Structure 1
Amino acid sequence: MTDPNRAVVERFYHAFAQRDAEAMVACYSDDVVFSDPIFGTLRGADAGDMWRMLLSRAEQLEVHVDDVRANGDSASAHWRASYRFGPRARRVVNDVQARFQLRDGLICHHDDSFALWSWSRQALGLPGLLLGWSPLLQGKVRRQAFEGLRSYQQRRG
């Protein structure tokens, strides 16, 4: 018998691999709290809109998930996304460890952890290699991500 919380996490990543943002968002509670090194903390609709935005922009996206585990109301997964990023379409492979809290069959807390410097070296090229460790560049990446999300939300109305 499959653990129902594990099944929710597996459904989330299956939707991600299929580029189905609405099915991903359906796995979240209305008050979900999402966090990662790029977007920081997003709550509720902002978390869903982040996935909608990312999938609407994704070029040559491949998502692989493994090691999905659930224990009571907690779950975890390891996943890897490969995609093209930015105007130069640089290949990025992001290796992520995810942790979840679930409530009433939905994800209410989702925390993605990955090395921001590793991501910036791939996504930004030489500036990311030389300065990806610095709080200045990391802050700029976060600001641009958040501004991109707000712009996406304004266009959607």
Structure 2
Amino acid sequence: MHPNEELIHKFYTAFQSKDGNTMASSYHGEATFSDPVFKDLKGKEVGAMWLMLVERGQNLTVRFSNVKADDTKGSADWEADYSFSKTGRMVYNKIHAEFTFQDGKIKTHKDSFSLWKWAGMALGTPGTLMGWLPTLQNKIRSEAVTGLTMYMKRKKISN
């Protein structure tokens, strides 16, 4: 198995066991992360996001498959089941991840999934009916970034 493929396996295995520290340590110091909610995280924000998510994810289950990697890039598919903390509603999210690597660490990580589908599961009828609207999607993003900023202040994590 290629070392970067092993790194992806290590990352998602840590996610399955809610080991946010191992997840955070998988990233390069200048890493970037984006997904439909967290659009442009950099540096320590990336690891802090995973620390926050595993800390909040009391009933989180994660599965991963189709891991591929070479010297420069990689990908994986993963699925997560969890209760959305604000509503208590169950979410099943199916995600495709793309990676680049530098110095044996993840340099860029981009997750792709349908924010509209996610909003429907997390928010119920309002999310299903309005989850495609930029105003609702931007509100979701804003609340997520505010939550991450507050988490980093509380944990004394600076970028």
Common topology (TM > 0.5): yes
Structure 2 counterpart of 1:14: 13
Q: State the distance in 2 between where 1:88 and 1:146 align.
A: 18
Verify: 1:32 aligned to 2:31, yes or no. yes
Amino acid at match of 1:153: M
Structure 2 counterpart of 1:122: 121
Verify: 1:111 aligned to 2:110, yes or no. yes
Deviation at 1:70, TM superposition (A): 1.0
Superposition map of 1:17-96 within 5 A: 17-96=16-95
TM value normalised by structure 2:
0.96
**Quick check: 1:120–1:132 contact (8 Å CA) kept in 2?**
yes
Give the unaligned 5+ runs of structure 1.
Answer: none
Q: How big is each residue's C-alpha offset from its partner over 1:51-73, in whole Å with a ceiling of 9 and x where there is no partner?
A: 11111111210000000011331
Structure 2 counterpart of 1:5: 4
Give the unaligned 5+ runs of structure 2.
Answer: none
The alignment covers a number of residue pairs equal to: 156
More strand by share: 1
Q: State the distance in 1 between where 2:51 and 2:94 align.
A: 20
Q: State the distance in 2 between where 1:87 and 1:5 align.
A: 35
Instruction: Give the 3-state SS of the residue equivalent to 2:153 in structure 1.
Output: helix
TM value normalised by structure 1:
0.97
Q: How big is each residue's C-alpha offset from its partner over 1:82-117, in whole Å with a ceiling of 9 and x where there is no partner?
A: 001124311101100000001111100000000000
* Structure 1 segments of 4+ aligned residues over 3 angstroms from their partners: none
**Quick check: 1:59–1:85 contact (8 Å CA) kept in 2?**
no
